Structure 1
């Protein structure tokens, strides 16, 4: 395109007062960049310092494009602001790079202003890539009305949209909840036959359906995509896993997992994590354990948050299903080995599980560790451990917990726990100790049924 010497409007013009010797305060000095800047940006800074060496607009555009490609957008804007000092006027390529820069900064309104300036001032028609960049940036910000206006203008200027342009609109429509319109647009593309939707087209609409609780329709689209010869990606399948989770249908994810494998698409860590999260959230703990074990077998690492969720679920379920105690121990050991942080609720549930599995020594050690960390266990947890220790005749450890509780200022035991302690001390003939425990109970407003004897 030819570039007539048209000065940009004020909002696009580089400030005339900006010179290398007088940079505005909000810009960094041209000769200094923080250590995090890329090497390429540092080299280009040297070029900017000697602005008189930039003789042609081609050289300027090349440098400008390099900065934007390197994601050094602050440096690129500063460089663009120097344009008048090189006695150069921007052309269509300059503006195209500027639009790209605004888009990378996630500023679609400014990008659109530059686009309209190019259209309205005789710089020719921007290409499909430039139009699509602006449409995509607007859609990501939820500014669908503006995006559709740009799309209409694009077609009026006889610039044919490509499938990437339509994919941006499909995602934008779904982003603002207009899923039906997105589906209609996808069907229209299929019917017209001019462009062939790709896997991203289908994934965008499938994601829209899943987010509004219509996963079955998303699956229909998946089958349709396969029917026209497309190969679904991991992202496509993971979208459906997420839909099942949100709709409370996590068990159906197992069928999808098998379909993936049959079609030669290997599930990734996100696939398994999404399925595991859904199963645990909806109380399908046994199924969650199965997925967890499969993840470990495949070499996937379950993140700390998910491990805590799994630990809580397994421990609660193990109260009635004792066979899950072994799983709880395995998960706890794995988390300890990896140095994962335990949330207080999970830690207490694990201590309870140790007691339920007759591992009272481990329960005692972990309760002491928990209290040393400054965490305050619930009365129920304290009672469980102390009673378990007393049943096994480990009165010294039980008394030590009482000491830790008194030091920490946390809640006291229930009356029945004091009764158990006093009874065991009486049985052993430790009347003085029993009297101390009885006094501690009274001091804390608890009147034990058992008395020192």
Structure 2
């Protein structure tokens, strides 16, 4: 955007159209005219209130997106517009996220016979920050100060916050110096913006030093000040130091919120120490800060990532006990972890199946791999009826099981001597476009041989050869060696 102050005239007539949420015009509040330092809007007087009502009545007849119509209407009523009413309209548009239209109306102010005052410029700075035109916002700031209008701490803080969010810390500190130059004292929100900005670009030590020096400036840090530094420490693998800051905040009598604890959960997860999250969870409860769904999910996610399956199961049960739902991907990760763990620790099979059953009862679709893990687990504990049922269910949902999943079922059925059911599974593989592997045929030939069913063994062996697969196992009569 070209500078508002680089044109021959400050104001120009806009030609671009923009949608306007006209219903928000009822939110217009009228600022008082001030000189020197800009203050917040005051109450409207009778005249500005009447202008607003009349304007709202007329604007209802204009199509919703007709910006030029709105401008024309304002120009027709130019003699009735006060600067206070105009500023109130700009502020309402800004509040309704209509910064573009506010800027267009601002550029039309000369057509209404209005000259901007300090409050007008403050609103425009906010609009430019929302539009991410920070160079222009700084130019407007300097222009208004050169014309004798000093922004208030809110306007300064909004600009500093926008600069910090985009990593422009050098410019942010220059604005801070401007504040000091006119005797505008920064507040805790101003410092919090700078703290977050410093941590955003990795300057955690500098941010920590600023936090420690805030009280020297007679500014008491709040919980958000500590949260900013804690987040910075956690992101660079210094979660223990973040915990130390939390303890310091508690000594100062500050009440931690759920965000500050969730930051610690994330930090310990990143460092591969998710079980430290249980200490955080306990402290959270001790300080009467109820964990939310994100708290539990973050803790459980870290535990699963680092293979702490039983601990994750504990968190899951507590989460369900307090009424929180676990999202689908997290359930899939928990199920996978439980299944793999249960192959050695059989007592987890029931827990795995309960998680799986909960997934089935939800509207969300169970993914391909979750079925595969559960079917394999059921086969390993010889729950073949359930394994076969879920194999059919999986196919019914449109999934084609992997060869290893089919083989798990075939093997389980063969171990139980259910050779004909196993043969049906082999046929199902054909029907679903899967070519059985050598292992698939070997298991069937072996079991047919064990049961003395030579014809069945020969049929399976012949079917394998037709598919170009040569089994290791052969029908018993063709081999004198025992099996």
Check whether TM > 0.5.
yes
CA contact (8 A) 1:244 1:253 kept: yes
- Matched residue SS, 1:50: helix
2:244 counterpart of 1:260: no
1:287-326 equivalences in 2 (<5 Å): 287-326=311-350
CA contact (8 A) 1:14 1:80 kept: no
1:242-391 equivalences in 2 (<5 Å): 242-391=266-415
- d(CA) in 1 for partners of 2:172 and 2:132? 14
Higher-Rg structure is 2
In the alignment, which of 170, 181, 186 is matched to residue 195 of structure 2? 170
Partner of residue 89, structure 1? 115
Shift of 1:364: 2.0
String of CA shifts for 1:247-271, please: whole Å, max 9, x gaps.
1111111122112212222222221
Change (3 A) 1:280 1:196: same
TM-score, normalised on structure 2? 0.82
TM-score, normalised on structure 1? 0.87
String of CA shifts for 1:22-71, please: whole Å, max 9, x gaps.
x33xx34x7xx6xxx57436966745562223522222211111111122
- d(CA) in 1 for partners of 2:168 and 2:230? 21
Q: Which moved more, 1:216-225 or 1:142-151?
A: 142-151
In the alignment, which of 10, 13, 19 is matched to residue 6 of structure 2? 10
Change (3 A) 1:84 1:321: same
CA contact (8 A) 1:8 1:117 kept: no
- d(CA) in 1 for partners of 2:337 and 2:314? 13
1:234-249 equivalences in 2 (<5 Å): 234-249=258-273
- d(CA) in 2 for partners of 1:14 and 1:398? 85
Q: Which moved more, 1:361-370 or 1:255-264?
A: 361-370
Change (3 A) 1:71 1:451: same
Shift of 1:307: 1.0
- Matched residue SS, 2:6: coil
Shift of 1:407: 3.6
Change (3 A) 1:342 1:107: farther
Shift of 1:332: 0.6
Shift of 1:189: 1.0
In the alignment, which of 125, 136, 148 is matched to residue 99 of structure 1? 125
Q: Which moved more, 1:157-166 or 1:9-18?
A: 9-18
2:182 counterpart of 1:157: yes
Structure 2 alignment gaps of length 5 or more = 27-55, 63-69, 478-483
CA contact (8 A) 1:383 1:414 kept: no
Partner of residue 46, structure 2? none
Change (3 A) 1:395 1:201: same
Structure 1 alignment gaps of length 5 or more = 1-6
Partner of residue 4, structure 1? none
2:76 counterpart of 1:56: no
- d(CA) in 1 for partners of 2:101 and 2:131? 12
In the alignment, which of 235, 240, 250 is matched to residue 216 of structure 1? 240
Q: Which moved more, 1:163-172 or 1:371-380?
A: 371-380
- d(CA) in 1 for partners of 2:129 and 2:11? 21
- d(CA) in 2 for partners of 1:272 and 1:15? 55
- d(CA) in 2 for partners of 1:283 and 1:290? 13
Partner of residue 131, structure 1? 156
Change (3 A) 1:82 1:406: farther
CA contact (8 A) 2:164 2:172 kept: yes
Shift of 1:438: 2.0
CA contact (8 A) 2:195 2:228 kept: yes
- d(CA) in 2 for partners of 1:374 and 1:123? 72
In the alignment, which of 238, 253, 258 is matched to residue 229 of structure 1? 253
Partner of residue 168, structure 2? 143
- d(CA) in 2 for partners of 1:11 and 1:405? 76
1:160-199 equivalences in 2 (<5 Å): 160-190=185-215, 192=216, 194-199=218-223
- d(CA) in 1 for partners of 2:130 and 2:147? 25
- d(CA) in 1 for partners of 2:305 and 2:199? 26
- d(CA) in 1 for partners of 2:413 and 2:132? 61
String of CA shifts for 1:184-239, please: whole Å, max 9, x gaps.
0001113x151100000011101111111111111111111111111111111111
- d(CA) in 2 for partners of 1:74 and 1:48? 14
- Matched residue SS, 1:323: helix
CA contact (8 A) 1:261 1:267 kept: yes
Q: What RMSD over aligned residues (CA atoms) do the two structures have, in Å?
A: 2.7
